[in-house]
Amino acid sequence: NYNPQPEHKFTFGLWTVGNIGRDPFGNPTRQPLSPEYIVYKLAQLGAYGVNLHDNDLIPIDATKAERDKILRNFKKALRDSGLVVPMATTNLFADPVFKDGAFTNANAKIRAYAIQKTMHAMDLGAELGAKIYVFWGGREGAEVDAGMNTLDALAYYREALNFLAEYSEAQGYGYKFALEPKPNEPRGDIYLPVVGAALGFIATLDKPHLFGLNPEFAHETMAGLNFVHAVAQAIDAGKLFHIDLNDQKMGRFDQDLRFGAENLKAAFFLVKLLEDSGYQGPRHFDAHALRTEDEAGVWEFARGCMRTYLILKEKARQFNQDKEIQALIKAYKVQDAELSKLTRKFSKRNAEALKARKFNRGMLAERGPGLERLDQLTVELLMGVR
Ligand code: 3MF
Ligand code: MG
Ligand code: MG
Ligand code: MG
């Protein structure tokens, strides 16, 4: 029946269903919803959790007393609804102070303020029970390269992440940090633009084991890349700490469409990858309702994201049990036990034996792997006629 339940681990950001439909050319089209209201509605729809930036909940200029009051009410909503907060993050992009970057700002005072703001936001997340902390470097980038040396920017970035990882450990928060790459928007170019770039950077940090990825469907797609491949690389590296599910037309502005709204086939292979690989983390939707919609449309959007995921999960199960499809895959993956023994690991003997082997290139090239049939069956399965 594709009814979302907490066990499915679906989460939304306060900023997602709370999106008021502002865009660079137009004013908001919807009223703000209070965090408590969002929590109750998400719980009603069967979600597992809600995630937040510090300022989604606590205004940037709130006093200590205001903060405590907001937090009390929000915690009560969480208790009453059973929703959890698995992930927290910092808003390091909205305030004008961050217009030229936060951790990578050329101004040492702004860099220090960004680290201070993040420590406070980490305190807030820990108080709400979050164990995953996301870094999306929305303003960490440039439009022009005249003023800033990118090598400096990367060094500042590393310094901030190392500092904050130590802070988490010293406080006993036990956070796992997830970097969220994006190629551009709001900056002309954002540093660490894609999953591979973030993986490379993590290896240069003091405590790389604390850092992983929060890849987003729309971000890799904006760059014209294959998101399923990017996620596979993160999984292969043991670095898929979190995931932002949504959809996006290639080559466009950042759309944050309902999951599965645009690239249904890629969404299918993504869900299959997550389910088959045993990913245990939250299925987080970082998307929002179309600007055209009223509040009813917002909840249709949220329900739609979760339903589509569950339907695709069922399709993945069907795919894995489909005898014809599985036979085609088996035939596609040609096995040769003897040769695999030679190539598995280098040894002088294996190398010599392999060099002495005769291969019939012509015959090997002749065989078609059967992908046309396999892909057509996949499409038919997705269209519901299998
Ligand atoms: C922007 C994003 C961000 C991040 C968020 C951390 C505002 O394109 O994807 O959403 O996801 O800052 O999770
Ligand atoms: Mg995004
Ligand atoms: Mg987006
Ligand atoms: Mg995101």
From ligand 1's centre to the CA of 247, what distance in Å? 14
Indicate the helix (H) or strand (E) that contains 52: strand 49-53
Point out the ligand nearest to the CA of residue 137: 1
Output the pLDDT for position 293: 98
Number of neighbouring beta carbons within 10 Å of residue 143: 10
Work out the average pLDDT over 73-91. Answer: 98
Q: Whose CA is nearest to atom 4 of ligand 1?
A: 136
**Strand 132-136 relative to strand 176-180, pairing:** parallel
Q: DSSP state, 98?
A: G
Q: Write out pLDDT tens, residues 239-283.
A: 999 999 999 999 999 999 999 999 999 999 999 999 999 999 999
Q: Is residue 134 in contact with ligand 1, taking CB distance under 6 Å?
A: yes
Mean pLDDT of the chain: 98
Q: Is residue 220 in contact with ligand 1, taking CB distance under 6 Å?
A: no
Q: Is residue 100 in contact with ligand 1, taking CB distance under 6 Å?
A: no
Q: Is residue 254 in contact with ligand 1, taking CB distance under 6 Å?
A: yes
SS3 269: helix
From ligand 1's centre to the CA of 91, what distance in Å? 9
Minimum-distance ligand 1 atom for the alpha carbon of 185: 8
Residues 165, 119: Cα–Cα separation, whole Å: 10
Minimum-distance ligand 1 atom for the alpha carbon of 91: 12
pLDDT-based confidence at residue 148 (cuts at 50, 70, 90) = confident
**Cβ 71 vs Cβ 58: under 8 Å:** yes
Minimum-distance ligand 1 atom for the alpha carbon of 87: 13
13, pLDDT greater than 80: yes
Number of neighbouring beta carbons within 10 Å of residue 41: 18
Q: Write out pLDDT tens, residues 114-143.
A: 999 999 999 999 999 999 999 999 999 999
Q: pTM of this prediction?
A: 0.97
Q: Is residue 136 in contact with ligand 1, taking CB distance under 6 Å?
A: yes
Taking a 5 Å cut-off on Cβ, the residues next to ion ligand 4 are: 216, 244, 286
Q: Write out pLDDT tens, residues 365-375.
A: 999 999 999 99
Angle at which helices 264-276 and 371-383 pack, to 10 degrees? 100
276: annotated active-site residue: no
53: annotated active-site residue: yes
Number of neighbouring beta carbons within 10 Å of residue 112: 13
